[in-house]
Structure 1
């Protein structure tokens, strides 16, 4: 039986690593990304690597901050996925937000806060609703969203994203309860500081990474592949009782100091 995984944010970082790991695990991959023309060779490389594993892949380059675009992608997915197939895994790995202070010159505007919480927080609910409305989600199923230690720590200019992560975790708990009858689990993965394009747009990211490296008892930063491996583990049928949780994937970084 064909198993599809839908990865939102598939072109880089944790999303890319997770798409590749799930393909290696035997899933066909639906990927959504937002990239300019210069990045398209990287996307084609991702496609080639997945197809080289003998898996199907369909990639959508779309700005999903617009609800009309998200709905168009969902409709295209319904046309792509055969009537006898469905999506078993949804991975929401979106880094599309504003990193600005909350107060003072250059601070986040009302629109900045709304967009960041919308795309990195509420967007998870919109994708889940869209899949269910189109009868695309399999039972049992798995849903994962990517959070960070910034949900509970204050980092310079991270306020808008921190708020979005809190929204995301709240939705994870609620969705876990509402989807239990369908045997669909919902969990957040809390990665340690990871060197990704999303990290590099945070002001002071070099200092953030250096501090994490000093704290981490393993003496290294978390990698996207570490996160992908945790997602892979939680897709196992033996993990069906883990839901509504924030699962740390940081090598002990968050408890070391």
Structure 2
């Protein structure tokens, strides 16, 4: 926080449940006060909280995902995007030229051990991006998903076999390395540099070509 403030920008952190209706009700007025008349120019939705359990019993792993865990995973990682965008829109905080980004992963189209519920959430997220893009187009607000390459995050390390996934991604990436948070941040900055909403409803790969090979 101190490092950010040293650049001369205003910083406000809130440690709370971002998927909670109550949190949105409490924070939207705060965001309105912080943003002022310009509104929220960039909304980055990045929630990584879900159950990593198989659908069926496995050898040595009898636990399977429950309906409650399945619903929670898809709601937190997928549906919450809709609710945040809607609350900000209703509050008049998404001005023309605003950008909405949802972070997704290549798991939206691949099968990995115990990743089924998260994969479903990522697929729902892509669908929500398309729908929101169409509904917000008349307002001049773009909505896109950023599909980052494999990045060493705390969420990744929770996935069974993550070390093997990281090694495979490193070896196969044309750049010879994994994606880092700075790569994604640069994409957000680049895509937010214009008020145009013409690029919208897409899943944009930010992976250094990882998905090409």
TM-score using structure 1 length: 0.78
Note the alpha carbon deviations across 1:92-127, whole angstroms, 9 max, x for none: 011111111111121111011101100100000000
Match for residue 250 of structure 1?
207
Residue 134 in structure 1 maps to residue 91 in structure 2:
yes
Number of equivalenced pairs: 209
Q: Secondary structure at the match of 2:175?
A: coil
Matches of 1:149 and 1:134, distance apart in 2: 33
Whether the 8 Å contact between 2:148 and 2:205 is mirrored in structure 1 is yes
> Which ranges of structure 1 fall in alignment gaps of 5 or more residues?
1-46
TM-score using structure 2 length: 0.94
Q: 2:38 aligns with which of 85, 88, 97?
A: 85
Matches of 2:88 and 2:99, distance apart in 1: 13
Match for residue 48 of structure 1?
2
Matches of 1:132 and 1:241, distance apart in 2: 19
> Which ranges of structure 2 fall in alignment gaps of 5 or more residues?
none
Match for residue 225 of structure 1?
182
Q: 1:100 aligns with which of 43, 53, 61?
A: 53
Residue 71 in structure 1 maps to residue 25 in structure 2:
yes
Matches of 2:76 and 2:195, distance apart in 1: 31
Note the alpha carbon deviations across 1:102-157, whole angstroms, 9 max, x for none: 11121111011101100100000000011011111121110000010000000111
Higher strand share: 1
Match for residue 27 of structure 1?
none
Matches of 1:79 and 1:189, distance apart in 2: 28
Matches of 2:195 and 2:26, distance apart in 1: 35
Whether the 8 Å contact between 2:32 and 2:39 is mirrored in structure 1 is no
How much is the aligned-residue C-alpha RMSD, in angstroms? 1.3
Match for residue 144 of structure 1?
101
